[in-house]
Amino acid sequence: MSLALNIPRLETERLILRGPQETDFDPLCQFLTDPVRAAGFGVEPDRPKAWRWFAMNIGHWALHGYGYLTIELKETGEPCGITGIWSPEGWPEPELGWVVYAGFEGKGIAREGAERVRRWAYGDLGFTTLTSNIVPGNDRSIALAERMGAVYERTYDNVEMGEDLMFRHPGPEALA
């Protein structure tokens, strides 16, 4: 059961993208408090701060009507990452983001989930553009953004992450 209302359940061949559940917190916390794995996303120093991020995502859904979805493997029901649209105060515009947890990299999960979220944003929410904001040196995320058709647009100062590279995704007309 989802903790917030009006969060869609999106599916792909292998994945369910759904609203956060309390049981999703432990794997997300492991990610957020890992200074190496979360370096390109935003590291939280401890479990209580990670909980605040988890709750903030639910609040983001309430305020914007979009946020991060939990990526769940259909086959096992395991949460294996998050993907969604993020636009807190200070962001230049809505961002399509993704994270996969340890042990789930290199399986196409991030791309499959992010492409499904992008279709939802364009088709159901009426977005006409999306960006992905990636810290310099996060080569795997840069490569994924480029495989999804996003192109580097500019470097800017992210209020949370410092220097960030903005990649612009193709609009809905280019993906039709």
Distance in angstroms (rounded) separating the CA atoms of residues 49 and 143: 30
- Residue at 121 is within a domain: yes
Classify residue 23 by its DSSP letter.
Answer: G
* Sheet strands (E) in 55-143: 68-73, 79-86, 95-100, 131-134
Looking up residue 115, the CATH number of its domain turns out to be 3.40.630.30
8 A C-beta contact, residue 44 and residue 35: no
- Domain with 24, as residue range(s), is 10-127
Token duo for residue 149:
């058709």
- Residue at 24 is within a domain: yes
Nearest in space to 19 (alpha carbons), one of 31, 41, 2, 35: 2
Domain count along the chain: 1
**Whole-model pTM?**
0.94
Classify residue 34 by its DSSP letter.
Answer: -
- Residue at 142 is within a domain: no
Token duo for residue 120:
């939802």
- pLDDT by position in tens, the chain (length 176): 444 468 999 999 999 999 999 999 999 999 999 999 999 899 999 999 999 999 999 999 999 999 999 999 999 999 999 999 999 999 999 999 999 999 999 999 999 999 999 999 999 999 999 999 999 999 999 999 999 999 999 999 999 899 999 999 999 999 87
